[in-house]
Amino acid sequence: MPRQVLIGFGVDVDAVAGWLGSYGGEDSPGDISRGMYAGEVGVPRLLKLFKKYNMKTTWFIPGHSLETFPEQMAAVRDAEHEIGLHGYSHENPVSMTPEQQLDILNHTFDLLTRFNNGVPPKGSVAPWWETSKEGTNLLLDKGIEYDHSNMAHDCQAYYLRDEDTWTKIDYSMQASTWMKPLQRGKETGLVEIPANWYLDDLPPMMFIKSNANSHGWVNTRDVEDLWKDTFSYCYRYVHHLPCSARRCNVDVSCREEEDFIFPITIHPDVSGRPHVLLMLERFIEWVNTHADVQWVPMIEMARRFREKVKPVEGARMPAGFKE
């Protein structure tokens, strides 16, 4: 069997929502105008790029972006790209109550389903990749098949646990009170397509005034080299799934597996800029020089993982899920 290398773009349409919920621009007309650029200029440019290379991608659309840019989002849908959840106003899940999280999930799920001609979203990205302790179970209740917010791997999908717990350090207490290992939660049937800050266009190439770690002027060729080096390592050295994913006690070296996934996160706020678009063209064309590479939406990565690795017996599955 040929190896299977699945690579794809997840497009987070943060736009105005990003400035409202995460970037500290809610009182800045200038920053809000940057969000308008993302929706009205960046989105069409990315659609043109994907059409040029005949690829289907995944667009994680906040409810605010859907309702603010209906024409541009309709173009995404009509080009048959996958559509997934990304909050309403890019709200931070860990700053909200469980009730607020549920209200936003229900509202945006219904918005995207109606918009997508009755097809419900199957994937979700937590805004700012901040996942709450309730998040996994909320997604399972809603029938979501995969998440793209956690980072316990970089090039292999895995099944999320419901809630890991750990003990924080409290220097006012005896040391014995915090010297305890992390406790793993129960594995579920929710697939994780891992997120990766190093495969994200925004941190190095978008200036955010309120963020002390903001860059915005990093040379695209530095980012391009980082992505190429990461891909090259995986292509050259990743030869098996982790043994824990195989559900066996056999040494992984005896069951060779050359497949891996390579999910990249981009934003029309950033990748809709001319200099970044040219970098994406170079990167896509370089990737395409490799054998056995397929550009796919993230739902395809999740479903092919399910074909290979089954959840543990008794794992809680997404509501209504059918093999």
> How far from each other are the two terminal CA atoms of the chain, in whole angstroms?
23
In a domain, 115, yes or no: yes
Query: Is the whole model's pTM more than 0.85, yes or no?
Result: yes
With CA atoms as reference, report the closest residue to 191 among 300, 86, 81, 87.
300
Number of domains in the chain: 1
In a domain, 63, yes or no: yes
Q: Produce one character per residue of 89-107: b if its CB has 16 or more CB atoms within 10 Å, e if not.
A: bbbebeebeeeebeebbee
Could you give the CA distance from residue 301 to residue 46 in angstroms, rounded to a whole number?
A: 21
In a domain, 315, yes or no: no
Output the domain CATH number for residue 177. 3.20.20.370
Are 255 and 240 in contact by the 8 Å Cβ rule? The answer is yes
Residue with tokens 């800045």: 28
Q: Are strands 5-12 and 293-295 parallel, antiparallel or unpaired?
A: parallel
Residue 264 backbone phi and psi in degrees, to 5: -115, 140
In a domain, 112, yes or no: yes
In a domain, 28, yes or no: yes
With CA atoms as reference, report the closest residue to 292 among 237, 235, 247.
235
Give bridge partners of residue 183 from the DSSP assignment.
165
In a domain, 128, yes or no: yes
Going residue by residue through the chain (323 aa), what tens digit of pLDDT does each one get?
A: 688 999 999 999 999 999 999 999 999 999 999 999 999 999 999 999 999 999 999 999 999 999 999 999 999 999 999 999 999 999 999 999 999 999 999 999 999 999 999 999 999 999 999 999 999 999 999 999 999 999 999 999 999 999 999 999 999 999 999 999 999 999 999 999 999 999 999 999 999 998 877 788 999 999 999 999 999 999 998 865 554 444 544 343 333 457 999 999 999 999 999 999 999 999 999 999 999 999 999 999 999 999 999 999 999 999 999 87
Q: Tell me if residue 221 falls in helix, strand or coil.
A: helix
Could you give the CA distance from residue 179 to residue 181 in angstroms, rounded to a whole number?
A: 7
In a domain, 316, yes or no: no
Residue 205 backbone phi and psi in degrees, to 5: -125, 15
Could you give the CA distance from residue 22 to residue 202 in angstroms, rounded to a whole number?
A: 13
Domain that holds residue 70: 4-308
**Tokens standing for residue 168:** 């924080």
In a domain, 322, yes or no: no
